[in-house]
Amino acid sequence: MRIVRTTDYKDMSRKAANIISAQVILKPDSVLGLATGSTPIGTYRQLAEWCAKGDCDFSHVSTYNLDEYRGLSHDHVQSYHYFMRKNFFDHINIDLANTHVPDGANPDSDAACAEYDRIVADAGYPDLQLLGIGRNGHIGFNEPDSVFSKGTHMVNLTQSTIDANSRLFDSPDEVPRQAYTMGVQTIMYARSILVVANGKDKADAVRAMCFGPVDPQCPASILQLHTNCTVIADEAALSKCPL
């Protein structure tokens, strides 16, 4: 794992955007694995700025998001379909037909997950996978468990994730209890991985990810076994790491 220390959120976002931009410059038809959450928003904003200036071209890029709530329509304001359009796709020159998010509106979880595995495999898996990390060490919606997950599957969200995400809903009761997520094995198929983390409430998870045992109780710890994983984190998120 390469660990890049940044001064603050802005610095983290710029450095992550630089790596994604370089990926797209070197391979204009890159397959990008993308993430939702608060952490990558600054990265998306920076890339959109460069795209508006003509410095970054997404016209041949295709994207595959990690996860989606089960039971929300694609235009629901809390869906990850909506999040990605609002925070990224509407501001760059990507063809929306080349963007993919698991189909949370399909209640048939087996069919929705199998279909997503098929399209990610057909795309040859991401050249670069962007990840945030949950306070409990989750990646995508792969929550702490006794095993590492494989392909796309339905998950019951843990109370800590429901609580963390309830800030974005009008009331905690509205937070969906289930989601479809790419599995840990699929995430590990990406040729490169870029994890972004900021803030002191991520410090325990970042330490467990980078320095703890490789243990499905911290799903992100598997990234220690990836051959090309970069963690970009601010001082606060790295504050508990033995660096």
Of the candidate residues 6, 23, 32, 37, the single one contacting ligand PGA (CB under 6 A): 37
Of the candidate residues 11, 19, 21, 38, the single one contacting ligand PGA (CB under 6 A): 38
Q: What CA–CA distances, in Å, run from 92 to 63, 159, 197?
A: 13, 35, 23
Question: Is the separation of the CB atoms in 58 and 24 below 8 Å?
Answer: yes
Nearer to ligand PGA (CB atom), residue 33 or residue 37: 37
Q: In the numeric block, which tokens belong to residue 20? A: 């994604």
- Of 34-42, 68-76, 85-93, 105-113, which segment contacts ligand PGA by CB under 6 A? 34-42
Q: How many residues bind ligand PGA (CB under 6 A)?
A: 6
- Cβ-proximal residue to ligand PGA, closest one: 37
Nearer to ligand PGA (CB atom), residue 18 or residue 38: 38
Q: Clarify whether 143 is annotated catalytic.
A: yes
Q: Kindly name the residue from 67, 103, 117, 234 that is annotated as catalytic.
A: 67
Q: Clarify whether 67 is annotated catalytic.
A: yes
Q: How far is the CB of 201 from ligand PGA (least distance, A)?
A: 8
The reply to whether 39 sits near ligand PGA by the rule CB under 6 A is yes
Question: Is the separation of the CB atoms in 65 and 101 below 8 Å?
Answer: yes
Three-state DSSP string of 15-60: HHHHHHHHHHHHCCCCEEEECCCCCCHHHHHHHHHHHHCCCCCCCC
Of the candidate residues 134, 137, 183, 219, the single one contacting ligand PGA (CB under 6 A): 134
Site residues for ligand PGA, 73-112, by CB under 6 A, read: none
Question: Is the separation of the CB atoms in 195 and 225 below 8 Å?
Answer: no
